[in-house]
Amino acid sequence: MKITFVINEETETWDVSPDDIFLDVLRHRSYFGVKRGCEDSSCGLCTVLLDGQAVNACTLLAAQVNGRSITTIEGLGTRDHLSPLQQAFVECGAVQCGYCTPAMILAAKALLDTCPEPTEADVRDTLSSVYCRCTGYVKPVEAVLRLMRQHQGT
C-alpha cells in the first residue's frame, strides 16, 4: 500500500506493508535519529512528532501516517545551524551519550510549540516520556527552561 504524507515539510509517497511499524520504515530509509529501545512505547527513544504532537514511532503503524504530518530530528537544524533547542542543549551540557537527545529535543519542541511558557513540572512531564540513563534529566530540563526564558526576554 502507499502512504502519502508530509515529512519534515516535504510531501512524500512511500510504499509500505500494512504490518510495517513506522519506526522500522524510518530506519530502513536512513532516518537514524529514531532509536529502537523497547518496541512497546516504554522508552520514548523513537519519538517523532505526528501533527506536532510527540508520539512513539514503535507503536505506530506506517499506514497510520497516511495524510498526516511528521517531524523527525533530521528536520530540525543543520550541522552548521543548530535549532534553538539543540543550541540550548549544547550550551547547557545536556548531551552526554546523545542516544536520547533526538527524542528529548522533539518532545521539548512539541511542548514549547503548544505551550510557550511551560512550568518546570510541564517540562519534566514532557521529558519523562524519554528514557535517559546519563544525565539524570538535570541539564535537559535546564536547557528547555533556559530557552523558554530567552524567549521571554529574561
Partner 1 sequence: MILSHLIEYHCPTDLNEALRLLSRPDVATVPLGGGTSLVADGVPSAQAVVDLHNLGLDSIEAADDGLHIGAMVTLQNVIDNSHSRSLARGFLASVARRTTTRNVRNAATVGGTLVSANSVDELLLALLALDAQVVLADMSSKRCISLEDFVTHTPAHLSQATLILGVVIPPLPTGFGVGLERVARTPADRPIVAAAAFVAMEQGRCEAARLILGGVARLPVRLTAVETRLLGRVFNDELIAEAAETAKSIVVPFSDFRASSDYRREMAAVVCRRALQVAWNQVRSEDRG
User: Which grid cell sits at 126?
Assistant: 514532557
Smaller CB distance to partner 1: residue 53 or 90?
53
User: Which grid cell sits at 138?
Assistant: 538535570
Residues 99-128 that bind partner 1 (CB under 8 A): 107, 125-126, 128
21 binds partner 1 (CB under 8 A): yes
User: Which grid cell sits at 83?
Assistant: 535549532
Smaller CB distance to partner 1: residue 64 or 96?
64
Answer for the pair 147, 88: CB distance below 8 angstroms, yes or no.
yes
Residues 40-79 that bind partner 1 (CB under 8 A): 40-41, 44, 47, 50, 53-56, 58-61, 63-64, 66
Smaller CB distance to partner 1: residue 41 or 87?
41
CA 10 to chain centre: 17
1 binds partner 1 (CB under 8 A): yes
Distance between CA atoms of residues 126 and 129, nearest Å: 6
Answer for the pair 86, 66: CB distance below 8 angstroms, yes or no.
no
Answer for the pair 50, 8: CB distance below 8 angstroms, yes or no.
no
Smaller CB distance to partner 1: residue 63 or 82?
63
User: Where does this chain bind partner 1 (CB under 8 A)?
Assistant: 1, 17-19, 21, 39-41, 44, 47, 50, 53-56, 58-61, 63-64, 66, 107, 125-126, 128-130
